[in-house]
A and B are shown apart, each in its own frame.
Chain A
Amino acid sequence: MSDLLRLGLHDLHVELGGKMVPFAGYEMPVQYPAGVMKEHLHTRAAAGLFDVSHMGQVILRPKAGMAALVAAFEALMPVDVAGLAEGRQRYGLFTNEAGGVLDDLMFANRGDHLFVVVNAGRKRHDIPHMTRHLSAVAEVVEVTDRALLALQGPRAEAALARLEPGVAAMRFMDVAVFGDLWVSRSGYTGEDGYEISVPMARAEGFARSLLAMAEVMPIGLGARDSLRLEAGLCLYGHELDETISPVEAGLTWAIQKSRRQGGVREGSFPGAARILRELADGPARRRVGLSPEGRAPMRDGTVLFDGEGAVGTVTSGGFGPSVEAPVAMAYVPSALSTPGTRLEGEVRGKRLPVTIVEMPFFSTSYKR
């Protein structure tokens, strides 16, 4: 794994028994000795600590006022940036001229600048993309001297509040600074929790303080994937790519009224023609949740049939430890996307029954 980058907390992961695998150019812990199943269930029952330092942390610092930066950033996404209050974070999507998704991201209004977190596998694309489009109005600075940790689960608040009592008052998608910690109340598991940017110099001590607490267990990428899958959350490269529109992906909640037809800043984002048309008329295909019958998982790439022809493909699938059954996501024609529709998925040459269901598979518990 010599060409792979190492996380700042690499030695801690190894000490904890993490099984290191290549992911997005990094050596990442896919699981610890407890295993994916226990790590998943522990996160839903107590609190799990994830090292997501492979993700891109970027500061957009305005050169001549926030308004110009906000306008330029908004021109890259079908998302309301101007309406985001200071101290709040929002989900965003960079789109291309064809209305596909270049990446999904989180961005926060931190008063005198924006803080952006992008996917590890896309940061080498996103950072030049932002630099190209924003450099007239902002400095685009990748933050490389900070770890990014996520603490997720119903006991996350109690655990983190022992170190920083102020975090208890935060609401879902609030951001706040506590000393040198940059904290957001958000995550990628469907649970309440926090994402914490911490200076690398003290990241290990901070992580050890959390891991010393009875309710906190280290969680690898395996459980991160099963948790987000149960929560019905998209993974770039699976449910999102440059050909899939946000409307097809069911992310219309991320497109605020101000950017839609009749909105005060309607359109004027890449791919607006397709995205506004799909908002009005409906997309040709839609992302759906799938519940395969029996116990056999239907994994990424499984082809779906409606009796005769192929109608779609599974984009993510596996076993949902909390659902205690296999779960999957796929794209199917809109006409077949109604919950209750029965299809078949071909697994090892056999066509197995599968039903389209509402997502999330597991009810989320964000602290609104």
Chain B
Amino acid sequence: MKYTKEHEWLRVEGDLVVVGITEHAATQLGDVVFVELPETETQVAEGDEISVIESVKAASDILAPVDGEIVAVNEKLSDSPSLVNEDPTGAGWFFKMKIDDLSVLDQFMNEDEYNDLIG
């Protein structure tokens, strides 16, 4: 698992990258009440605001961590946004991306580096 400084996690699954937010981010956001997911089959660029997560407190943007194509989204979050709090790195995943070259993930933090960041 890799981590971005925007508190997203990325997990390689076959030739796809699954993206969600970290437990730390979910805790900081508080109870999630709404998730707006990106459209599938769309090309996105690193840094694009492609998803929105609303907690009881505020709205936050989810950024595309890398260039690629959105190939699947977690439809369960539409009815059960609380999955993001209950299981942020499992059932609370956001979307799956197809990227040209998985080696771009090397730029991101590993678990130890991420834990240092959130200290």
- A87 an interface residue at 8 Å Cβ cutoff? no
Which A170-200 residues have a C-beta within 8 angstroms of B? Answer: none
Q: Which of B7-15, B49-57, B63-71 contacts A (4 or more CB under 8 A)?
A: B49-57
Q: Roughly how many angstroms separate A226 CA and B52 CA in the complex, as a whole number?
A: 21
A222: interface (CB < 8 Å): yes
Q: Does B23 contact A (CB under 8 A)?
A: no
Within 8 A of A (CB), among B23-40: 30-31, 33-34, 36
Minimum CB distance partner of B33 in chain A: A319
A295, CB-defined interface residue at 8 Å: yes
Binds B, one of A31-39, A92-100, A158-166: A31-39
**Chain A proximity of B47: nearest CB distance (Å):** 17
A295 to B57 CA separation, bound complex (whole angstroms):
14
Distance in angstroms from A368 CB to nearest chain B CB is: 31
Number of chain A interface residues as a range: 10 to 19
A318 and B52 form a contact (CB under 8 A): no
Given contacts A295-B78, A348-B52, contact A35 B59 (CB under 8 A): no
Please determine whether B30 and A295 come into contact, CB atoms closer than 8 angstroms: no
Structural contact, B31 and A297, CB atoms closer than 8 A: no
Whether A297 contacts B34 in the complex (CB less than 8 A), given A222-B56, A318-B56, A321-B56, comes out as yes
Q: 8 Å CB contacts to B: which residues of A282-326?
A: 295-297, 299, 318-319, 321, 326
Find out whether the CB atom of A35 lies under 8 angstroms from the CB atom of B78.
no
Instruction: Name the residue on A nearest B54 (C-beta).
Output: A297
Query: A35–B30 Cα gap in the complex (Å)?
Result: 6
**B54 and A37: CB pair below 8 A?**
no
CB pair B78–A31 under 8 Å, yes or no, is no
CB distance from B55 to the nearest CB of A (A): 8
Q: Is B88 part of the contact surface with A, judged by Cβ < 8 Å? A: no
> Chain B residues near A36 (CB, 8 Å)?
30-31, 56-57
> At the interface, yes or no: B81 with Cβ under 8 Å from chain A?
yes
In the assembled complex, A247 has its CB within 8 A of some CB on chain B? no
Tell me if A30 is interfacial: C-beta within 8 Å of chain B.
yes
Find chain B residues with CB under 8 A from A326 CB.
Answer: 33-34
Which residue numbers of A lie inside 8 Å of B, CB to CB? 30-31, 35-38, 222, 226, 295-297, 299, 318-319, 321, 326, 348
Q: List 30 A-B contacts (CB under 8 A).
A: A30-B57, A31-B30, A35-B30, A35-B31, A36-B30, A36-B31, A36-B57, A37-B56, A38-B31, A222-B30, A222-B56, A222-B57, A226-B56, A295-B33, A295-B34, A295-B78, A296-B34, A296-B54, A297-B34, A297-B59, A299-B59, A318-B56, A319-B33, A319-B54, A321-B31, A321-B56, A326-B33, A326-B34, A348-B36, A348-B52
**A35-B31, A295-B78, A296-B36 provided; 11 other pairs, C-beta below 8 A?**
A31-B30, A36-B30, A37-B30, A38-B31, A297-B33, A297-B34, A297-B54, A319-B54, A319-B56, A321-B56, A326-B34
